[in-house]
Amino acid sequence: MPSPNRITKIEIFRVPPRWLFVRVETEAGIVGWGEGTLEGHTEAIEGAYQDLRERFIGWDADQIQDIWQHAYRSRFYRGGPVLMSALSGLDIALWDIKGKKHGVPVWQLLGGKVRDRIRVYSWVGGDKPADVLDGAAMRRAQGFTAVKMNATDAVDWIDSPILLQDTVARVREVQSLGLDVGIDFHGRLHKGMAKQLAKALEPLSPFFIEEPLLPTQPEEIADLAKMVSTPIALGERLYSRYDFRPYLEQRAIDIAQPDVAHCGGISELHRLASYTETYDVALAPHCPLGPIALAACMQIDVSAPNFVIQEMSLQMHYNEGADLLTYLVDPTIFAVKNGYVEILTGPGLGIEINESLVRSAAAKHSSERAWRNAVWKGEDGSLREW
């Protein structure tokens, strides 16, 4: 029996623009990187990592499944965005270590590849979409063949249908450049408005509609899915296969979008790929985050038969102070060509993190206020969905 490769250190780094990187080191000197970002709740994640340090330093880093099960099940309360995001970062780092130990990419440990390259998309517009045509032209010049955009600004529970006409016009503009367009409702619309917008967009054949309603509404989303032929996508605010279950059983979605930094890491994303395939649901991992999360997603993308497209945050509107490529030693690893990036072939996650830059950025950023999403209110002063 080989001797255990025990975990000796678990470090976290709060870095711009809004990411939380995890560094795990073993007694053999192998370092793995993970990402446990939970946008807007950084301090809660940092507290969760204090608990994970106390529990898992000294454990064998090779026992990924055992660590995952103990992190998830051994305490009375389980699941949810905070605990699962912290577990995600640790899990990703452990897979990185295992791949480096054996000198192979993680996807080889998951059974090998089923494709040679990965289709990707990025964002146009921002939280309050207006002029998206220039952004779409830039994305096309960068090599993308698909983009995603927010559907609306803040919308009341029931609002003027005129607001929805602008969304349809913007989609037409972007499609005029020959791009596939995913439209993120972002859970901003309630049922009465979401139905109208989904119907209005249907003749344009969008690539998908994302989060047409809040994830608290699986039955209503299932009803909406029966109303339109447009593929329905969601999953960023679902944190395990158990959370996905009602959506799959009610045939509510066509595209699953689990986030590797929220859903339990590579281990759970791998399970979700197979679980969703059982229901003839495609996989398109959510990832408006950093390079570690993207590299982790790509390990599943290359090995999952039902994978269709991968989100990446290159020059996204949230990326202030740093961007997707900032912390990479080799930024060409994510080069986009004809809508695709090449698979990662290096050991572990297949990327090299600039550790000195991460440490210096974290040293400066840790004393600054962590990122928060905007809080929107209507003209009457009532809270609106962001």
Round to whole Å and give the CA distance between 269 and 258: 7
Structure token pair of residue 238: 């679902």
Cα–Cα distance for residue pair 168/152, rounded to 1 Å: 10
**Containing H/E element for 256?**
strand 255-256
102, 186, 262, 270: the active-site residue: 186
Given a contact cutoff of 8 angstroms between Cβ atoms, the answer to whether 349 and 295 are in contact is yes
Q: Which residues pair with 283 in a beta bridge?
A: 256, 307
Can you tell me which residue has the tokens 């699962």? 84
φ, ψ of residue 60 to 5 degrees: the values are -75, 120
Tokens of 188: 């901003």
Q: How far is CA 290 from CA 120, 239, 261, 263, 286, in A?
A: 15, 19, 10, 16, 12
Please compute, for residue 349, the number of CA atoms within 13 A of its CA located in the half-sphere on the CB side: 30
Q: Which of 41, 190, 270, 286 is catalytic?
A: 286
In what helix (H) or strand (E) does residue 384 lie, and over which residues does it extend?
Answer: strand 383-384
Q: What single string gives the DSSP state of each residue in 319-331? A: --S--TTTTBS-G
Catalytic: 186?
yes
In whole angstroms, what is the distance from residue 289 CA to residue 195 CA?
30
151-127-132-207 Cα dihedral, nearest 10 degrees: -40
Beta-bridged to residue 148, according to DSSP, are 123, 182
41 is catalytic: no
- Token pair, residue 305, equals 């038969």
- Widest Cα–Cα separation across the chain: 69
How many whole angstroms separate alpha carbon 64 and alpha carbon 359? 26
Catalytic positions are: 186, 286
